[in-house]
Amino acid sequence: MKAGYPASGDSMLHSLVVVTGCSSVGKVQDSEVFRVTQTDFISLTNDPADEDRIAEVRKVLNSGHFYFAWSATGVSMDLSLNAHRRILEDTTDNRFFW
């Protein structure tokens, strides 16, 4: 996942965020759902000062409140959609997509 988020001033931080720790919390249909427990950030600008600026984002992502679904078939469930909406349309709800 590439993350661009506002930092102090008008500058943006550009990082690749890699999930390096997760735990299975269950299955929904053919997809296994995982809780994110640890992430690593790779700066795309190679600016060492970025580490201080991403500390709060890292804390939020590692808080245990972020989930993803994965399926061995390659067709993973979109966790941003409720079951009714998933049946009617297959469009991601960007309010819940990260």
pTM of model > 0.75:
no
Ranges 6-10, 35-39, 93-97, most confident = 35-39
Q: What confidence tens digit (pLDDT) does each residue in 55-84 have? A: 888 998 999 988 888 888 876 666 765 555
Distances (CA, A) of 7 to 15, 41, 44, 58: 12, 15, 15, 14
Identify the CA nearest to 13 among candidates 57, 59, 77: 57
Q: Mean pLDDT across the chain, nearest whole number?
A: 77
pLDDT (average), residues 41-49 = 84
pLDDT surpassing 50 at residue 1: no
